[in-house]
């Protein structure tokens, strides 16, 4: 049985008890909901992989209540200190050399650990109450869109975990930016709402974006898997050439397929059935996963039309690419 409880002093106490007993608890953060376990407890961590159906070579992020707590689990360089001071709490995860107390089950055998101090006060209250660092991936079944509401967590995790803490819906809506600080040059492994430009602006540190090689070893193992996918087919259109989209929909209509279009607000009157991504990269990030879970229930196939090209759009574009399997009109 899976209980959904609002965040109160009582439910937090109960959640902490479950975590300290090696159980899993889903909790809200400002990005997406997480599926948490005691990061020091290898058995509890294994339960996460089982509940999600997640490949065991995809490492987890360890969540901390404040930046200081990073010293318990990782080696924090001077540069890491500067970046953490500027972005913790925040939607930036940093990859650092790990300390021995973190089991390899968390890091999928890597000598590094991803560390995150969420902006969400509800998340930090939960971690603090547990008194431990919390290993947590997004609380979706592997390959499914990440959950931004307690309802979406319930859809995927019902019957698999004892408790979902219900908090605010997620404001950012896509997962944190992952920044690797263990190489020669700070590198963003997963784009998010915190961009290279933000990091440069706030700290003076230059960071690059990791470009995935076509073959060989990938740096962030999560990048090689299918991700975020709705249950139905989805294709992307990334420019304003709407004729392509009209023709595509026309063709599908002949086959009696019901097509939904996920698009920026300015296009919503162009098509019959639309889901608005709003006006900006922030709006689109906040809405995308929620829309995917809604639209897959209402449509046979989806077209996602997104034309913004600013750096802040990197995160949401990365999720759209993966959700569609890279199919672009």
Binding site for Mg ion (CB under 5 A): 138
Pairing of strands 187-190, 208-209: parallel
Q: Which is nearer to Mg ion, 52 or 124 (CB)?
A: 52
Q: Which is nearer to ligand TXA, 95 or 302 (CB)?
A: 95
Among 11, 38, 69, 112, binds ligand TXA (CB under 6 A): 112
For 8-22, b where at least 16 C-beta lie within 10 A, e where not — what string?
A: eeebbebbbebbeee
The footprint of ligand TXA on residues 131-160 (CB under 6 A) is 136-138
Q: Which is nearer to ligand TXA, 120 or 274 (CB)?
A: 120
Q: Which is nearer to Mg ion, 146 or 274 (CB)?
A: 146
Chain position whose Cβ is nearest to ligand TXA: 222
**What are the C-alpha distances in Å from 6 to residues 3, 15, 28, 122?**
10, 11, 10, 11
Min separation Cβ 78 and ligand TXA, Å: 20
Q: Which is nearer to ligand TXA, 145 or 260 (CB)?
A: 145
- Partner that binds at residue 145, options Mg ion, ligand TXA, none, CB closer than 5 to 8 Å by kind: none
Distance CA 26, CA 32 (A): 10
The footprint of ligand TXA on residues 217-276 (CB under 6 A) is 220-222
Min separation Cβ 254 and ligand TXA, Å: 39
Helix (H, G, I), strand (E, B) or coil at 211: coil
CB atoms within 10 A of CB 34: 32
Among 88, 92, 94, 95, binds ligand TXA (CB under 6 A): 95
Task: Provide the edge-to-edge strand list for the sheet that holds 274-276.
Answer: 233-237, 301-305, 259-263, 274-276
Closest CA to 194 of 117, 79, 305, 289: 117
Q: Binding of ligand TXA at residue 105 (CB under 6 A)?
A: no
Place of tokens 């200190």: 81
Among 11, 38, 69, 93, binds ligand TXA (CB under 6 A): 93
């Amino acid at each position: 049985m899976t209980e959904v409880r609002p965040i109160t002093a009582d439910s937090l106490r109960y959640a902490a008890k479950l975590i300290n007993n090696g159980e899993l608890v889903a909790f809200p953060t400002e990005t997406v909901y997480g599926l948490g376990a005691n990061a020091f407890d290898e058995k509890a961590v294994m339960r996460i992989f089982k509940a999600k159906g997640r490949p065991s070579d995809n490492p987890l992020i360890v969540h901390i209540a404040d930046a200081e707590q990073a010293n318990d689990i990782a080696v924090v360089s001077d540069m890491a200190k500067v970046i953490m001071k500027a972005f913790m709490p925040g939607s930036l995860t940093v990859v650092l050399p790990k300390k021995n107390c973190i089991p390899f089950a968390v890091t999928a055998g890597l000598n590094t650990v991803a560390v995150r101090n969420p902006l969400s006060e509800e998340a930090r209250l939960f971690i603090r109450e547990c008194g431990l660092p919390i290993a947590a991936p997004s609380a979706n079944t592997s390959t499914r869109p990440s959950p931004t509401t307690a309802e979406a967590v319930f859809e995927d995790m019902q019957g698999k975990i004892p408790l979902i803490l219900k908090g605010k819906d997620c404001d950012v809506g896509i997962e944190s930016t992952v920044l690797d600080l263990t190489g020669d040059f700070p590198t963003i492994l997963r784009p998010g709402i915190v961009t290279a430009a933000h990091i440069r602006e706030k700290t003076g540190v230059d960071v690059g974006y990791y470009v995935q090689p076509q073959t060989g070893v990938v740096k962030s193992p999560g990048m090689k898997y299918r991700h975020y996918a709705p249950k139905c087919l989805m294709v992307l259109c990334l420019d304003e050439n709407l004729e392509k989209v009209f023709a595509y929909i026309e063709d599908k209509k002949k086959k009696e397929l019901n097509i939904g279009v996920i698009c920026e607000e300015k296009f919503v009157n162009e098509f019959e059935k639309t889901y608005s991504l709003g006006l900006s990269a922030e709006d689109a990030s906040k809405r995308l996963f929620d829309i995917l879970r809604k639209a897959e229930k209402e449509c046979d196939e989806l077209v996602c039309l997104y034309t913004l090209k600013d750096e802040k759009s990197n995160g949401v574009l990365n999720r759209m690419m993966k959700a569609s399997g890279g199919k672009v009109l």
